[in-house]
A and B are shown apart, each in its own frame.
Chain A
Amino acid sequence: MKVAVLKGGRSLERGVSLRSGARAEDALDRLGHEVLAIDVGSDLVKRLVAERPDVAFVAMHGVGGEDGTVQELLEILAIPFTGPSAAACARCMDKVQAKDAIEEAGLPTPHWFAFNQTAFREFGAADALGRLEETLGFPLVVKPSRGGSSLGVKFARLPGEVPQALVSAFSYDDRVLLERFVDGRELAVSILGDEPLPVVEAILLGGDRYDFEARYEIGRTRFACPAELSAEEERAVTEAALATYRALGCTGFARIDLILGEEGPWLLEANAIPGLTDTSLLPQAAEAAGLSFEELVERILDLALKPATA
């Protein structure tokens, strides 16, 4: 089968995407497919039209590749592709939209407020900050609405730190959200087709727990898979993740990030195209489920081609 691997692009996560793509290409090749690697640029449509691949393997992260843009093009060109649909990608990418959908489905997500820059620049939204800080409490989390990985995500422990965190978040997107901080275990549930894979837990190894960037720094975080959960916890977590997956209209695969607090799981966000690098969580979870990377890739491909039977 001729498989176009779409990777790279101009997003801030280009580096990770190239690694995800390269790894997928190798696996596809070993599986005996004809691989067409495309570093996505302005000639994408032209190349897809000329090459007519049987299926597109989308290994792009961040704006452009994970937000439904590329998926929309593939839908127009009638090329089947891996991962969620354009609409689902767009919903997952925008944390505000995603949280709306999660809440509508009756699932718990930490309380939040969203603002765009205009609100601050033209309507004096800064004057409302005090009130909403009271509602959310401290520490609170500031995030760009659309942004991948942990880019631009900051904790504010005190009111004085909020403006600075907002300035950082606004570096990535025109809309940001302020979210109540929920204490608990940080879990990620990858879903393949309709099956939740073993839960991964991110365990912080010392350091400042409110320094979000440090969490992703060298040796600061350990990932445990499968996470040590009681049967009850595991059921609650995977059910919540599956419900979120469905609420967002995901198909193929996605990774749901959540916090397991004392009162149960709190849904944070969904990653429509989780990374496929050797340190990424989806492949780790698949491996814990007994799926080799090739098997994972093959399954992802099957899901793209036979969504109905998946």
Chain B
Amino acid sequence: MMPSVGVARRALLAEDAEPGVFALGAAVAGYAQPDQRQDDDDDDDRQQQRDRDHDQRRQADDEGQRPTAAALAAAGAVDEVADDDAGQRGSDEAEHAAEDPFQQEAGDEADYGGEDRHSPAGGPVGAGGAGEHADGHPDSELLENVHAPNLTNRDGRALIRHTWEMAEVPEPTHRRRSHAGTRDLERYAGLFAERTTVMRSSAMRDLMAITARPEVISLAGGLPDTSTFPPQSFAAQMTRIAQESAAKALQYGPTEGFEETKDCILEVMGAEGMLPDPDDIIVTTGGQQAIDLVCKTLIDPGDVVICEAPTYPGAIPTLCSYQADVVQVECDEDGMQVELLEQLLAELRGEGRRPKFIYSVPSFQNPAGVTMSLPRRQRLVELARSQEILVVEDNPYGLLRYGGEPMPPLYQLDGGDFVIYLGTFSKILSPGIRLGWAVAPPPVMEKIVLGKQAADLCTSTLTQYFVREYFAERRWQRYVDDLVEIYRGRRDTMVEALRTYFPAEATWTEPEGGLFIWATLPDYINTSDLLAKALRADVAFVPGQAAYVDGRGSHSMRLNFSGVNDEEIREGVRRIGKVIAEQVELYGTLTGEQRVAEPATEPQPNVVPFRKAEEA
């Protein structure tokens, strides 16, 4: 009996201080040392102390690593599609984090042996820690204890500062080298799942890696503008959390998310006329995880999933990693052409294939900027119901409307029987808090919750607390209004710039909301190749091919207007217009038809038509 109790206790202790990953590490360590598990109670106590100490060191290590991972990611991450290199590094860091507990096991055991000899009375940790709490900073306990054995003369504050200084010193080379062994991909190649072969990057994705250069005006991003969020308000909310709810905000939370977070979600959905049952909601780590969880729940390899053409570029890797057979249905200025969808569904039925779901961004679509018309929405919902197919409505931008009349979400039209709804705080508050959600019928939700549990147990409690504080101030709608004002201006600037600088043969959508404009060029211009030329002029966009699974979209580009200021928008569009004009002129020279690459003199002709010719 004794051994298993020992293991369980240690695992439990580990979990008290740190995430589940480490509990596993401690348990493994226990099994690896059968003789220790037979120890008497005293030894067991000491072991607990070691484990606690161990956990805290581990935590300190994490602190040290995090800025590096973040910096590396930030250095390259322009967009959800953009930077492969950052992605690579990000995952490398993740790899290290995952392997760390095991790697450190051996080294730390040796350390403990040494400590034990010098501190028979339970070690200096407890003694030093207790004495230093007089400064009234109970929250510093963890960090303090990490260094206490070495730094008994310092007070808690100094230690905290010291820890942060450590964290901020960039030592990427050194840090990476200490983990060199874990990066050795070829040693693991034989172990990789088959799905990783479809997770490889393309040359175009590599090209996007260099859009992160500081001198490049990037219209390739998809970033909301977080610069107007008042820092004082952020500080006050976080302080309030620290003062009033520190223990809870630092603790695990329910897998489904806090009820209070769901209340905030109900407010946001209510603003668009939706009234879901809170039990149908799960809080996720960003909207992206919601997509992932839906895929995880519904897709077997080879299953058909229907998307719009073009579709959200960030959904493609997710769908591919679950080995879905993605079929895309053309959009026009009124969104997905539901008539074509009907034909497709009939064809698939003929082949005996039933699509698992239809993924749509009906409002201010990413990347096309178009919005599905009401008749199409109604028809889509009818189709879903009559054929019992799920529709996954991804609605990150619904509240960012700059003109026109609000459109009922599919979820509202359907009542939530065949529509799974995905939402996010990313575009109305902050993408950095990584808070999104999914709403699904109970049987589906049950599976999604299991998937979420397996993925990450729960969404960050800290940021859920932040959202709750933020919504308590009852100003969230005003902030959205502010964003709408800013983005409306930027959209207008971009449309104006397109009229001024793009050649007459180009067309583009004029979105009533959202973050993107989709521009289509003459069919002899390939936008992936054009990007190479544009990058020499220090400007970037997302080539249209990123929004298709089959290489289409090569004459189009996605332009973002939310993450750049008016001046950058004008200059960026001017530079792109210039490289396009050069290509148009060159083509004229090559074909003998002299084309004059001048911008349209008529103010209106290029707006909206979502070139159907492109699909020929």
Once the chains bind, are B213 and A15 in contact (CB under 8 Å)? no
Contact A29-B88, Cβ < 8 Å, known A126-B589, A171-B583, A214-B551: no
Once the chains bind, are B532 and A18 in contact (CB under 8 Å)? no
Cβ-based interface call for B592 (8 A): yes
Q: Residues of A contacting B525 with CB < 8 Å?
A: 164, 167
Q: Residues of B contacting A287 with CB < 8 Å?
A: 186
Q: 13 A-B pairs, CB-CB below 8 angstroms?
A: A10-B210, A13-B206, A14-B209, A19-B88, A26-B180, A26-B183, A120-B589, A151-B529, A167-B586, A171-B533, A213-B203, A278-B189, A279-B200
Among B203, B523, B587, B591, the most chain A Cβ lie within 10 Å of the Cβ of: B203
Cβ-based interface call for A166 (8 A): yes
Once the chains bind, are B210 and A171 in contact (CB under 8 Å)? no
- Give Cα A278–Cα B191 distance, bound, in whole angstroms: 14
Which residue of B is nearest A13, CB measured?
A: B206
- Give Cα A37–Cα B177 distance, bound, in whole angstroms: 11
Which residue of A is nearest B525, CB measured?
A: A167
Chain A 120-151 per-residue mask, 1 if CB under 8 angstroms from chain B, else 0: 11000011010000000000000000000111
Chain B 199-215 per-residue mask, 1 if CB under 8 angstroms from chain A, else 0: 01111111111100100
Chain B 357-397 interface residues, beta-carbon cutoff 8 Å to A: none
Contact A218-B202, Cβ < 8 Å, known A10-B213, A278-B189: yes
Chain A 1-45 interface residues, beta-carbon cutoff 8 Å to B: 10-16, 18-19, 22-23, 25-26, 29-30, 35-37
Cβ-based interface call for A217 (8 A): yes
Interface size on B, residues (CB 8 A): 48
Q: Residues of A contacting B589 with CB < 8 Å?
A: 120-121, 126
Binding site for B on A (CB under 8 A): 10-16, 18-19, 22-23, 25-26, 29-30, 35-37, 117, 120-121, 126-127, 129, 149-152, 162-164, 166-172, 211, 213-214, 216-219, 278-279, 283, 287, 293
Q: Residues of B contacting A169 with CB < 8 Å?
A: 529
Once the chains bind, are B529 and A152 in contact (CB under 8 Å)? yes
Chain B 551-603 interface residues, beta-carbon cutoff 8 Å to A: 551, 583, 586-587, 589-592
Q: Residues of B contacting A36 with CB < 8 Å?
A: 173
Q: Residues of B contacting A30 with CB < 8 Å?
A: 180-181
Main secondary structure of the interface of B (DSSP, over half): helix
Contact A150-B203, Cβ < 8 Å, known A26-B184, A171-B530: yes
Once the chains bind, are A163 and B524 in contact (CB under 8 Å)? yes
Contact A217-B551, Cβ < 8 Å, known A12-B207, A16-B206, A167-B590: yes
Once the chains bind, are A217 and B213 in contact (CB under 8 Å)? no
- Give Cα A97–Cα B532 distance, bound, in whole angstroms: 23
Once the chains bind, are A216 and B202 in contact (CB under 8 Å)? yes
Among A168, A172, A293, the most chain B Cβ lie within 10 Å of the Cβ of: A168
Q: Residues of A contacting B183 with CB < 8 Å?
A: 22-23, 26
- Give Cα A117–Cα B84 distance, bound, in whole angstroms: 32
Among B202, B210, B529, the most chain A Cβ lie within 10 Å of the Cβ of: B529
Which of A22, A25, A26, A172 touches B529 (beta carbons < 8 Å)?
A: A172
Minimum CB–CB distance for A247 against chain B, Å? 28
Top 8 A-B residue pairs of the complex, sorted by shortest distance between their CB atoms: A15-B209, A15-B206, A163-B590, A168-B529, A278-B185, A164-B524, A171-B529, A171-B533
Cβ-based interface call for B197 (8 A): yes
- Give Cα A93–Cα B535 distance, bound, in whole angstroms: 20
Cβ-based interface call for B237 (8 A): no
Which residue of A is nearest B200, CB measured?
A: A218
Minimum CB–CB distance for B606 against chain A, Å? 20
Given pairs A164-B523, A279-B200, A293-B184, 9 additional interface contacts (CB within 8 A)? A10-B210, A11-B210, A13-B206, A15-B84, A163-B587, A166-B590, A168-B529, A219-B198, A278-B186
- Give Cα A217–Cα B528 distance, bound, in whole angstroms: 14
Chain B 166-188 interface residues, beta-carbon cutoff 8 Å to A: 173, 176-177, 180-181, 183-186
Once the chains bind, are B587 and A120 in contact (CB under 8 Å)? no
Main secondary structure of the interface of A (DSSP, over half): helix
Minimum CB–CB distance for A110 against chain B, Å? 22
Q: Residues of B contacting A151 with CB < 8 Å?
A: 203, 207, 529, 532
Once the chains bind, are B532 and A172 in contact (CB under 8 Å)? yes
Once the chains bind, are B210 and A14 in contact (CB under 8 Å)? yes
Contact A211-B551, Cβ < 8 Å, known A12-B207, A278-B185: yes
Which residue of A is nearest B590, CB measured?
A: A163
- Give Cα A18–Cα B180 distance, bound, in whole angstroms: 16
Chain B 78-101 per-residue mask, 1 if CB under 8 angstroms from chain A, else 0: 000001110011000000000000
Which residue of A is nearest B183, CB measured?
A: A26
Q: Residues of B contacting A172 with CB < 8 Å?
A: 529, 532-533
Chain B 505-555 interface residues, beta-carbon cutoff 8 Å to A: 523-526, 528-530, 532-533, 535, 551
- Give Cα A164–Cα B590 distance, bound, in whole angstroms: 9
- Give Cα A214–Cα B552 distance, bound, in whole angstroms: 11
Which residue of B is nearest A120, CB measured?
A: B589
Q: Residues of A contacting B586 with CB < 8 Å?
A: 117, 120-121, 166-167, 170
Minimum CB–CB distance for A22 against chain B, Å? 7
Minimum CB–CB distance for B583 against chain A, Å? 5
Minimum CB–CB distance for A289 against chain B, Å? 14
- Give Cα A150–Cα B204 distance, bound, in whole angstroms: 10
Among A19, A36, A162, the most chain B Cβ lie within 10 Å of the Cβ of: A19
Once the chains bind, are B590 and A129 in contact (CB under 8 Å)? yes
Once the chains bind, are B587 and A164 in contact (CB under 8 Å)? yes
Chain B 199-251 interface residues, beta-carbon cutoff 8 Å to A: 200-210, 213
Once the chains bind, are B583 and A37 in contact (CB under 8 Å)? no
Once the chains bind, are B320 and A218 in contact (CB under 8 Å)? yes
Contact A126-B206, Cβ < 8 Å, known A10-B213, A218-B198, A218-B320: no
Minimum CB–CB distance for A243 against chain B, Å? 30
Q: Residues of B contacting A150 with CB < 8 Å?
A: 203
Which of B197, B210, B535 touches A15 (beta carbons < 8 Å)?
A: B210
Among B173, B181, B523, the most chain A Cβ lie within 10 Å of the Cβ of: B173
Which residue of A is nearest B212, CB measured?
A: A14
- Give Cα A305–Cα B35 distance, bound, in whole angstroms: 53
Contact A163-B591, Cβ < 8 Å, known A15-B85, A172-B532: yes
Once the chains bind, are A283 and B186 in contact (CB under 8 Å)? yes
Q: Residues of B contacting A217 with CB < 8 Å?
A: 202, 551
- Give Cα A120–Cα B588 distance, bound, in whole angstroms: 10
Q: Residues of A contacting B89 with CB < 8 Å?
A: 22
Minimum CB–CB distance for B216 against chain A, Å? 10
Which residue of B is nearest A152, CB measured?
A: B529
Once the chains bind, are A12 and B173 in contact (CB under 8 Å)? no
- Give Cα A131–Cα B139 distance, bound, in whole angstroms: 81
Which of A35, A126, A149, A214 touches B590 (beta carbons < 8 Å)?
A: A126
Once the chains bind, are A29 and B180 in contact (CB under 8 Å)? yes
- Give Cα A103–Cα B572 distance, bound, in whole angstroms: 44
Minimum CB–CB distance for A167 against chain B, Å? 5
- Give Cα A287–Cα B203 distance, bound, in whole angstroms: 24
Q: Residues of B contacting A214 with CB < 8 Å?
A: 551
Minimum CB–CB distance for B308 against chain A, Å? 20
- Give Cα A35–Cα B590 distance, bound, in whole angstroms: 50
Once the chains bind, are B203 and A219 in contact (CB under 8 Å)? no
Q: Residues of A contacting B201 with CB < 8 Å?
A: 15
- Give Cα A22–Cα B182 distance, bound, in whole angstroms: 13
Minimum CB–CB distance for B196 against chain A, Å? 11
